[in-house]
Amino acid sequence: MKKFKSKKMIKKSKKRKILKFIIFILMTYLFSYFTFNYLNNKISYTSNKNFLNLLLNESNFKKENKLSMFNIIEDATNISFTNPISILDRGIKNNIIKISTTNEDDYNNYTELEKVSNRVENNDTREIKDPIIYLYNSHQLENYTKKDDEENTPNVMLTSYRLKDKLEEYNINSLVEEEDIQEILRINSWSGSSAYKASRILINNAIENYDTLKYFIDLHRDSVGYNSTTLITDDKKYAKLYFVIGLEHENYEKNLEFATNLSNMLNKEINGISKGILAKQGKNVNGIYNQDINGNTLLIEVGGVDNTIDEVYNTIDVLAKVLNNYIGG
């Protein structure tokens, strides 16, 4: 009888241990879940940026060495420690192409571009009254494909003039920057990689002269191939666009939200016309693109080197319509 009771007590003791272990795991799970979500909501910008830098170093989080706690947090919050995009607003992460830390075109070939692509002068000399959008091209000589019937090689400055004209049809006044950025580079003996430094001078000058400016858009041309930059829908060709957002400044979340809203609205208008957002930071990457000046500052890559200016104009017309809807809203 005594021996039988001893076995029963041992059995109960084992059950208690199992129950305690289950309770411990459950409490750890709940503690990790609420703690991480609290910190994710309260974390400061500086910590957030440092955390992104840490995540971008893949050597810090190898799958085979990942701690069980990280697994628990990933399962609980849908945030991946090997995917920095998930640390950004989870409501917009699916709209981001990727976070890039790779080298980028520093525009040091602008002397070669000058041989095939001249700056475009606007013949419209009317005074701009109370503009709210500032349009500029940090890389003014990025060109598109020249058609046989075109005398000059079209370049990215034409996108700014087209967008200005289309916005005017919606009663939105905009200002196109016409100062020669190449001349600023030459005067200061700067290389092509200082193009954003040169355009920053012009932006600040525009802000001083026009206190009505609220939105700042830097239009560029991508360098990838035709298939990647062209959308054909309803027998009409469009030059695809995407937004570049620098992460290395305090305004990046506002700019990211602005870009996300426009990208979503563009794709509702013409499905697939926007490729989304390319977030950039790290070594050999600008990471700012003058977007620290204002929370409504964008860099938009419109089409590629193989697109025609007509395909680009088709896209600019849609962008003008979306900007009107966004600003009106």
The DSSP-derived string for 287-305 is S-TTTTS-TTEEEEEEEET
pLDDT value of residue 283 = 82
Domain carrying residue 138: 110-328
Nearest to 137 by CA among 252, 288, 302: 302
pLDDT value of residue 45 = 41
Contact partners, residue 113, CB within 8 Å, separation at least 6: 141, 142, 143
Longest CA–CA span in the chain (Å) reads 109
pLDDT value of residue 152 = 82
Residues 83 and 114 in one domain: no
pLDDT value of residue 59 = 37
Residues 114 and 80 in one domain: no
pLDDT value of residue 66 = 44
- The pLDDT tens digits for 238-288 are 999 999 999 999 889 999 999 999 999 999 999 999 999 999 988 888 899
Is there a domain that residue 94 lies in? no
Q: Is the pTM of this model over 0.85?
A: no
> Would you state the structure tokens that stand for residue 148, as one six-digit string?
């046989």
Is there a domain that residue 287 lies in? yes
pLDDT value of residue 286 = 86
Residues 82 and 119 in one domain: no
Is there a domain that residue 92 lies in? no
pLDDT value of residue 303 = 96
Residue 148's CATH number: 3.40.630
Nearest to 220 by CA among 101, 318, 105, 95: 105
pLDDT under 50 in the chain at which residues?
A: 1-3, 42-47, 49, 51-67, 72, 74-86, 90-91
How many other β-carbons are positioned within 10 Å of the β-carbon of residue 263? 23
Residues 119 and 264 in one domain: yes
Residues 114 and 83 in one domain: no
Residues 147 and 62 in one domain: no
Is there a domain that residue 55 lies in? yes
Residues 188 and 303 in one domain: yes
pLDDT value of residue 101 = 65
Four-point Cα dihedral 67, 72, 76, 79, nearest 10 = 10
The number of distinct structural domains making up the chain is: 2
Residues 24 and 115 in one domain: no
